[in-house]
Amino acid sequence: MHPLLERQIRRHLGEHPETVLPPPGDAAWEHLFNAIGESYEQLDRDLLLREQALNLTSEELNRRNDDLRRELAERTETEEALQREKGEQAALITRLEDAKRQLLYSEKMASIGQLAAGVAHEINNPVGFVQSNINTLAGYVEDLFALTDLLEEVAAGLPDDSPLGRKIRESCERYDLEFLREDVPKLLSESRDGVSRVRKIVQDLRDFSHPDEGKFAWIDLNPGIVSTLNIVNNELKYKAEVITELGELPLIEANQNQLNQVFLNLLVNAAHAIKDKGVINVATRHLPESGEVCISIADTGAGIPPENLKRIFDPFFTTKPVGKGTGLGLSLSYGIVQKHHGRIEVDSQERAGTLFQVFLPIHQPAAEASAAGQQA
């Protein structure tokens, strides 16, 4: 008898159904019980089949859920990769735009440098004429003064009532010959000094704007700093007193023109940081313990806010008014110093001033120096 049927009989007929049911051997009842038992067994089989079907369906759903999760994870990963790629592309576009602007700026500066070199050459020729003529004029003036001395001697030897002597004396008084003897040599000396200063400025300008061949050579930094100070003097003289303390330096392996550009940028920035009148200190010193030289440029200007200190070397970052700065000076300077395997350190306090220190190695790594020479 099927267990379920037996439980149903006991449930409805009590724990002792034999007292109610017909005695064993009754064919009709046995047939009934067998039919009911087979029905229950068929029901068990159907339930088992349904359970198996449900299990298979559940396993299929689980597999599909796992596939969906994997697909979702792949899509999420793909989307994240696309977002990263999009961000990298945006950053690359920004870098390309920055590089393009830097290239345009460099081309503009190269054109200005070529123009300046040409103008300096054109100025140098007439300045040479003027200097030569001043020297010749000085000789002529000496001859003229010798002639006037002779005339004065002739006038002194003539009688007091001599018309010629009187005319010579009157002419000397009228043209203030004594003053001319004293003043004309001074004028010639000042003119020589002025022409010499012009030639010095022109020479410094030619040296500064000389085409950069990218070569490293053994150079003395101090003359380059002095030359750069002469170039930028007009920018500094109205804003600051420049104090130089140039120590004795060894020759270093570097590119003079590129470093002059660094010094120029730092000096111009120092001048722009000073509102009215201040002081700019320029110093150099040798650091034998580290095998370096240090160039420091300090100003008593407005200083740099702390939130801007980390950004001052970013391309096109500037706090200057529109038209006052490009935001490339410090970025280019940083790149040049990095190319020389050096470093720039900045110390600034608002309303107290800023100190830039450029540290450069005396010797360049052999591979870099060789590569720089080959690229040139």
Say how far residue 268 (Cα) sits from the centre of its chain: 15
pLDDT tens figures, 241-251: 999 999 999 99
The tens digit of pLDDT for each residue in 50-77 reads 888 898 999 999 999 999 999 999 999 9
| pLDDT on residue 26 | 65
> How many Cβ atoms sit within 10 Å of the Cβ of residue 152?
15
One-letter identity of residue 142: E
**Under DSSP, is residue 340 helix (H, G, I), strand (E, B) or coil?**
coil
Is 118 inside a domain boundary? no
Contacts of 344 (CB under 8 A, 6+ apart): 313, 333, 334, 337, 356, 357, 358, 359
pLDDT given at position 18: 59
The reported pLDDT for the residue numbered 164 is: 83
Name every residue whose Cβ is closer than 8 Å to that of residue 268 and which is 6 or more positions away in sequence. Answer: 232, 235, 329
Instruction: Give 40-67 as a DSSP string.
Output: HHHHHHHHHHHHHHHHHHHHHHHHHHHH
Q: How far is CA 141 from CA 95, 182, 190, in A?
A: 66, 12, 15
DSSP 197-233: HHHHHHHHHHHHTSPP----EEE-HHHHHHHHHHHTH
Q: What is the pLDDT of residue 283?
A: 96
pLDDT at position 1 is 58
Three-state DSSP at 329 gives: helix
CATH at 274: 3.30.565.10
Rg (CA), the chain: 50
Looking at the 3D structure of the chain, how many domains does it have? 1
Amino acid residing at 246: L
pLDDT of residue 39: 78
Q: Is residue 318 part of a domain?
A: yes
Could you write out the DSSP letters of every residue in 171-190? HHHHTTHHHHHHHHHHHHHH
Residue 235 is part of which domain span? 212-376
Mean pLDDT, rounded, of the chain: 81
178 found inside a domain? no
Give pLDDT tens digits for 328-345: 678 888 888 999 999 999
Q: What was the pLDDT predicted at 22?
A: 60
Residue from 209, 370, 356 nearest 295 by CA: 356
367 found inside a domain: yes
Residues of the chain predicted below pLDDT 50: 322-323, 367-376
10, part of any domain = no
Residue 260 one-letter amino acid: N
| Locus of tokens 């061949």 | 213
pTM: 0.52
**φ, ψ (nearest 5 deg) of residue 291:** 65, 35
In a domain, 351, yes or no: yes
Among residues 185, 282, 274, which one has the least CA distance to residue 230? 282
330: in domain: yes
Q: Which residue has the tokens 């796992």?
A: 66
CB 281 within 8 A of CB 243: yes
> What pLDDT does residue 343 have?
93
Report angle CA 258, 259, 262 to the nearest 5 degrees.
Answer: 100
376 located within any domain:
yes
